[in-house]
Structure 1
Amino acid sequence: MPDEQLGLTESVSIALGGMIGGGIYAVLGVVTGIAGAATWAAFALAGVVAACAGYSYNALNDVDDENQGGSVSFVQSFVGNATLAGMVGWTLLFGYVGSMAMYAFAFGEFTVALGAVPDSLGSVPLRPVVSVGAVAGFVGLNLLGAQATGTAENVLVALKVGVLVTFGVAGVIYVGLGTDAASLSLGLSQLTTFDPIVAAAVSFVAFQGWQLLFYDQESIADPVETIRTAVYVAIPVAVGIYALVAVATVALAPQALRAHPHTALVQAAGAVAAPVGLRRAGAFAISASALFSTGSAINATLFSTGYFAKGMLSADLLPDRVGDSSASGIPTRTLVGLGAVTAVFAAVGSLGGITSFASVAFIVVFGAMSALALRERDRERIDPRPPAVGLAGTTAFLPLLFWHLYANERNTFYVVLVISVVVLGVELLYFEREAIRDEIEAVERDVLGDSSR
């Protein structure tokens, strides 16, 4: 294998790092607010739907003769509709921006929780300032060409996974030994309600990192088989870690989840380490891990999204003013533009709103890829059952997510709805601009013709 190509270990690390990099720190509080002790079930359900979508991506990648990979190229290869391909690409771009904003929001929350900065300076809250500063810093790093190697990614993911697994296992053991008033609960009574399903829809953004592997197949050895295995390993591992951390946190920090849901992990980690006199050390370890994980997630997602946008520029699916597709590396204007939109979302949005919008984007795209794989089910190498489950799951998630927002977070509902409609409208206006212009000209000719009679 050439030195510059990534193997299975590096591919699993990238896929797992894309999910765990910031997902658990950003969405845990939002999801537990919906599903409570049944949060583990919500993560499991979201993981099943994501795995079925992963099967759809792998199946399409297997039968795509060009093996270009990725949602946009799949639509181009199997549907041949440039407008639909462009709309899928734009939806993904907005989803990635929402993910980065989610990570930046969590980065700011944990920076404040760590005590690195105060909650506010005068009357100015500092969480948005820290979030925007983090985005700006990583835009700067990417402009300098900074990126992690495959070996470095292995180390980074091992550290992140190690901290979370250690916390989860220690937390469950700590509560199981009855050393505190806390008790383990799996929320079994809630499994008969819609709460875990709604929470699964909200958490869906935490399972989106694996598909970035499909955009850079030229750097992966034996890409079709390597990516297939990496996806099927990474998603179950992420589900297991999310569920373990959720069970431990719900048991150890129920009040913190209600009062400060975004940083409840800090209090839970402190409770685990308290019996050995290391409460502050435990809280610091989780906070530092959160900063490291969310920061690296911003950086990695920004890097991958920049190259994804460059590919869309090369295919004439983005306007030229977004960046120069012939530039070496990621075009400067593209990076700055992505960073600016991300910073705005992170500064003025709520974590629930950002998470919900990003989940909407990925539910739509993953559902579309499942539908595309189901459409191609007559091909010998495509089993229709996983795509059918993926399509059914995403089809159920989307209305349930909007229903939840309307019933419980009315302002967030309107924000997400307006953004979704605006994004769809902009996509249609851009990709159908020639048809719209022809229609306008035809109407003008008819009107002018009628007036001259």
Structure 2
Amino acid sequence: MTTPALSRRLGLGDAVFIGLGSMIGAGVFAAFAPAAGAAGTGLLVGLAIAAVVAFGNATSTAQLAAVHPTSGGVYAYGRAELGPWWGYIAGWGFVVGKIASCAAMALTFAAYAVPPAWQRPVAIAAVVCLGAVNWFGVTRTAQVTRAIVVVVLLALAVAVAASAAASGSSDPLTAGSLWVGGWYGVLQSAGLLFFAFAGYARIATMGEEVRDPARTIPRAIVLAFAGALIVYAAVAVAVLSVLGADGTAASADPIAAAVAASGWTWAEPIVRVGAAAASLGALLALIAGVGRTGFAMARAGDLPSWLAAVHPRWQVPHRAEVAAVLLVIIAVVLVDLRGAIGFSSFGVLLYYLVANIAAYRQRGAARRYPHLLQFVGAIGCVGLGLTLPWQSVVAGVAVVVVGVVYRLLVLLQRGRPDATG
């Protein structure tokens, strides 16, 4: 029987835009408010810490992707480098964490686009519509993502300009103010802001659809990461300079609030359009990533085998994507935005912990980056994961336990109760 496979249609530019579309929507418009609540202006230090950890993770992912150009990202890399259980834990953490990310992006879109009473229905409609876009092929996903990223960058440029023209806040940014939340608050903000950098994983999970993956994926990951970091830093300083830490923490839409407070009232609708577009771009890429990881796990027998199907015309894992859409809709109904961000960060940090361990063990021609980067990435994943809000840690551990029990039951049913299956 022929193993289902995806076709390679994406170039370097497509991959970079998919990564940017995932990161910019997640970070700029969703994560600053809870991070400010944890650390105040110290979120800027948290952003730097998150960037260091994320860079270690990005280089580990790039190194692994160059050797294993297949769908599934770290799920596939963990299986190949460390064994089936490692890959499974990474894949499970990714799927459950990114389902929460999808819910967060859908709710962020609705928060910027419509009044509160309409937000959950509109969020569900967005999930359904973007699931349909993904159904019709990865090239359409890439084309839509390019257009969205351009709109978002223009809106953010307006927001930064408006904030720079404002008179400033009563809470000026000083060296002393960066530590008012204490070290724990700063680390918690870093864990929450890590949510913003996880978009480069979308590039790796689509490794089976990228042309010349050994060359394209590592370059795309580093380029997307660098571009997103520059945007995050500029916007974070701009918003804090206008709203201050308390105003940023209290706002459901801090960038739009900063523009309104700057006096450029005409620009607020532009920013809201950009925020909505960014959230949709992230959601589009996230659904694609969850679907492809689910497809890879099903193809290897770690999820129900009926998910391992490729549409004969559109060449996408359509059943896995439909399942992902249904799970995201359930999450949108049940969770709030800030809870979704914390839970997502836990799952994704677990995913990248496996990536760093797998990359650390690579030898010879497979090595592209120093071992130190993987060590920093792994220690950072553990540290940031443990300093997330306790509710997120408890929920994350519980879901991991459920995943482990599920796989044990599957192995027992197959007559392979040992841990090597």
Asked if 1:369 is matched to 2:359, the reply is no
Query: Hey, what's the Cα distance between the residues in 2 that align with 1:394 and 1:193?
Result: 16
* CA drift at 1:417: 4.6
**2:408 aligned residue:** 432
Shift in CA distance, 119/216, structure 1 to aligned 2, threshold 3 Å? closer
Q: Which of 116, 120, 125 is residue 128 of structure 1 equivalent to?
A: 120
Unaligned runs of 5+ residues in structure 2 are 1-7
Query: Hey, what's the Cα distance between the residues in 2 that align with 1:426 and 1:229?
Result: 36
Asked if 1:61 is matched to 2:74, the reply is no
**1:27 aligned residue:** 31
Letter in 1 for 2:106: A
Query: Hey, what's the Cα distance between the residues in 1 that align with 2:158 and 2:410?
Result: 57
Does 185-194 or 43-52 show the bigger shift? 185-194
Does 356-365 or 10-19 show the bigger shift? 10-19
**2:335 aligned residue:** 349
* CA drift at 1:436: 4.5
Shift in CA distance, 199/330, structure 1 to aligned 2, threshold 3 Å? same
Asked if 1:271 is matched to 2:261, the reply is yes
**1:409 aligned residue:** none
Q: Is the 8 A contact 1:37 1:250 kept in 2?
A: yes
* CA drift at 1:372: 1.8
Asked if 1:339 is matched to 2:342, the reply is no
Q: Which of 262, 265, 269 is residue 284 of structure 1 equivalent to?
A: 269
Superposed CA deviations along residues 350-377 of structure 1, whole A, max 9, x for unmatched, are 2221101100011111112112222336
Shift in CA distance, 44/181, structure 1 to aligned 2, threshold 3 Å? closer
Query: Hey, what's the Cα distance between the residues in 1 that align with 2:91 and 2:59?
Result: 20
Q: Is the 8 A contact 1:44 1:239 kept in 2?
A: no
Shift in CA distance, 225/301, structure 1 to aligned 2, threshold 3 Å? same
Q: Is the 8 A contact 2:29 2:254 kept in 1?
A: no
Q: Is the 8 A contact 2:242 2:261 kept in 1?
A: yes
Query: Hey, what's the Cα distance between the residues in 2 that align with 1:428 and 1:48?
Result: 30
Shift in CA distance, 258/297, structure 1 to aligned 2, threshold 3 Å? closer
**1:119 aligned residue:** 116
Q: Which of 121, 145, 159 is residue 167 of structure 1 equivalent to?
A: 159
% identity of equivalent residues: 23
Root-mean-square deviation (CA), in Å? 2.8
SS in 2 for 1:251: helix
Asked if 1:325 is matched to 2:327, the reply is no
Superposed CA deviations along residues 122-149 of structure 1, whole A, max 9, x for unmatched, are xxxx322222232233234444558636
Unaligned runs of 5+ residues in structure 1 are 113-117, 121-125, 407-412, 442-453
Q: Which of 70, 79, 82 is residue 76 of structure 1 equivalent to?
A: 79
**1:17 aligned residue:** 21
Asked if 1:297 is matched to 2:282, the reply is yes
Does 210-219 or 143-152 show the bigger shift? 143-152
Shift in CA distance, 218/310, structure 1 to aligned 2, threshold 3 Å? closer
Letter in 1 for 2:130: F
* CA drift at 1:439: 9.7
| Greater Rg over alpha carbons, structure | 1
Q: Is the 8 A contact 1:201 1:359 kept in 2?
A: yes
**1:37 aligned residue:** 41
Q: Is the 8 A contact 1:40 1:186 kept in 2?
A: no
**2:3 aligned residue:** none
SS in 1 for 2:387: helix
Q: Which has the higher contact order (CA 8 A, sep 6+)?
A: 2
**1:108 aligned residue:** 110
**1:446 aligned residue:** none
Letter in 2 for 1:391: A
Letter in 2 for 1:78: E
Letter in 2 for 1:304: G
TM-score, normalization by structure 1: 0.80
Shift in CA distance, 419/196, structure 1 to aligned 2, threshold 3 Å? closer
Query: Hey, what's the Cα distance between the residues in 1 that align with 2:57 and 2:183?
Result: 24
Letter in 2 for 1:16: L
* CA drift at 1:84: 2.9
Letter in 2 for 1:400: T
Q: How many aligned positions are there?
A: 403
Query: Hey, what's the Cα distance between the residues in 2 that align with 1:258 and 1:198?
Result: 14
* CA drift at 1:216: 2.8
**1:215 aligned residue:** 205
TM-score, normalization by structure 2: 0.86
Shift in CA distance, 181/291, structure 1 to aligned 2, threshold 3 Å? closer
**1:8 aligned residue:** 12
